[in-house]
Amino acid sequence: MELGLKGKVALITGSSRGIGRGVALALAAEGCDVMLTGRDAKALDEVAAAIRKLGRRAGIAVIDLRAKEAPVKLIDQVKSELGGLDILVNNAGATKRGDFFDLTEADWEDGYALKFFAHVRLARAAWPLLKERHGSIIAIGGTGGRKPTEEFTIGSSVNAAVAAFSKCLADRGKRDGVQVNCIHPSMVETDRLWRRIKAEMDRTGWPEQKAREEMCKAFGITRFGKVDDVADMIAFLVSSRGSWMHGATIDLDGGEIPTL
């Protein structure tokens, strides 16, 4: 399927590993030039090298998006190095799990700083470029925002806020010609998921396959997701084929969320 993405410019935050890395490579394979961000310079260099092998340009920004001034600097770099912006994927951010009464104010502030406020600041800074090219924003939340649990108070709250913010921004996007959508992935095969599987193996004494099967049962999912599942969805959404999808929050979850 031709997606019409050749020559587009994409900025993917948190693109040194996991979902962000997969999205960067998928969009490059469809013909996009890509700006990569993260704090691991070596990992970013490896992703950039893979993108250049595909014949596309790759910029690198080693940056901490928690800093209030970072988003404006990043967008300036995108404009300077790649000439503009068509696609923003707000992917960076992780939140701490744990008992509500053990989580500190600093844990909450850190969770919102990268997973929410960086999204807000980047959207604001990138909007003029996206408006100029009738571009797209994809926000990566998580199913915790749809199914809050006591051990994930920060993550559930942040992911719900990401979805609400995206819906509000989509309303503005109808006026300005900027497509905005949110994706809530469930359990995706990343280093973070492997740490949870390993912890379950250590807790129960189960072999890896048993731990995987029982975790899938507990979450009510058909299987763990793959990075490509998320990357392919994003490539479709930001393409001309997905242009009528606007203001949506998509549960990409293998059946985890049981409600309408």
Per-residue pLDDT reduced to its tens digit, 57-80: 999 999 999 999 999 999 999 999
Q: What is the mean pLDDT of residues 144-173?
A: 96
In a domain, 53, yes or no: yes
- Tell me the average pLDDT across 96-114: 95
Residues 6+ apart with CB under 8 A from 157: 145, 148
What is the pTM (predicted TM-score) of this model? Answer: 0.95
| Confidence band, pLDDT 50/70/90 cuts, at residue 94 | confident
In a domain, 258, yes or no: no
CA–CA distance, 27 with 10 (Å, rounded to integer) = 8
Average pLDDT of 80-87?
98
The neighbour count for residue 257, using CB atoms within 10 Å, is 15
CATH number at residue 117: 3.40.50.720
pLDDT greater than 90 at residue 23: yes
Token code pair at residue 187: 């359990």
- Whether 56 is in a domain gets the answer yes
In this structure, is residue 30 part of a structural domain?
yes
**Domain membership of residue 148 as a residue range:** 9-189+225-247
Residue 23 lies in a domain: yes
Q: 254 in a domain, yes or no?
A: no
Total number of domains in the chain: 1
> Residue 111 in contact with residue 104, Cβ under 8 Å?
no
Give me the pLDDT at residue 93, please.
Answer: 85
Mind listing the pLDDT tens digit for each residue in 213-232? Answer: 999 999 999 899 999 999 99
CA atoms of 29 and 9, how far apart (whole Å): 13
Domain membership flag for residue 15: yes
Does residue 137 sit within a domain?
A: yes
pLDDT of residue 260: 83
pLDDT at 1 over 80: no
Does residue 9 surpass a pLDDT of 80? yes
Q: Scanning the structure block, which residue is given the tokens 């809530």?
A: 184
Neighbours of 53 (CB within 10 A): 10
Kindly give the interhelix angle for 191-204 and 208-219, rounded to the nearest 10 degrees. 110
